[in-house]
């Protein structure tokens, strides 16, 4: 029991300062290799350009089920990130399509409006044309009634 508590407090304890062969402060990195997932280590801060070769593990080796679980969770995380990426790409395609359709709808509404105005004008003209003989028909009826 006390061992568990101790390992939890180790994480918040100040880390000792380590110096590499250059005499520089070594930096703490985290390994994500499947052999040492989440295990921290010190390394020369110049490791990408003139590494002095200094390397020392900070965390004890992770073995058994915790190692399996960390690796499984990491691969699940990667799979979810990939799924998210493809869904984001799909979302971008759908958004673009939605924008195009919205523009088409605006254009179609403008066409409907102009056709409706044209329809009103033509209906008015048709009324004038059809009303004239109708008036004369009415006139004839009126005459017949007399």
**What residues make contact with Zn ion under the rule CB under 5 A?**
20, 22, 44, 52
What does 27-62 look like in DSSP terms, one character per residue? EEEEE-STTSTTEEEEE-TTTTSS----EEESSPPP
73/33 Cα distance (integer angstroms): 13
Taking the complex as a whole, the smallest distance from the CB of residue 70 to Zn ion amounts, in Å, to: 29
Taking the complex as a whole, the smallest distance from the CB of residue 29 to Zn ion amounts, in Å, to: 13
31/58 Cα distance (integer angstroms): 11
Closer to Zn ion by Cβ: residue 22 or 40: 22
59/41 Cα distance (integer angstroms): 7
Closer to Zn ion by Cβ: residue 26 or 62: 26
Closer to Zn ion by Cβ: residue 24 or 70: 24
Closer to Zn ion by Cβ: residue 37 or 54: 54
Taking the complex as a whole, the smallest distance from the CB of residue 15 to Zn ion amounts, in Å, to: 17
Residue 45: how many other CB atoms lie within 10 Å: 16
Taking the complex as a whole, the smallest distance from the CB of residue 43 to Zn ion amounts, in Å, to: 8
């Amino acid at each position: 029991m006390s061992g568990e508590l101790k390992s939890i407090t180790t994480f918040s304890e100040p880390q000792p300062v380590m110096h590499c062969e250059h005499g520089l402060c070594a930096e703490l990195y985290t390994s994500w290799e499947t052999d040492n997932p989440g295990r921290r280590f010190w390394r020369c801060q110049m490791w990408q350009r003139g590494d002095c070769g200094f390397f020392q593990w900070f965390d004890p080796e992770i073995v058994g089920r915790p190692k399996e679980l960390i690796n499984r969770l990491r691969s699940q995380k990667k799979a979810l990130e990939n799924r998210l990426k493809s869904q984001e790409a799909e979302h971008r395609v759908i958004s673009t399509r939605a924008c195009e359709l919205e523009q088409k709808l605006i254009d179609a509404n403008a066409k409907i409006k102009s056709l409706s105005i044209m329809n009103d004008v033509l209906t008015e003209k048709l009324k004038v044309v059809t009303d004239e003989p109708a008036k004369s028909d009415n006139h004839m009826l009126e005459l017949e009634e007399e």
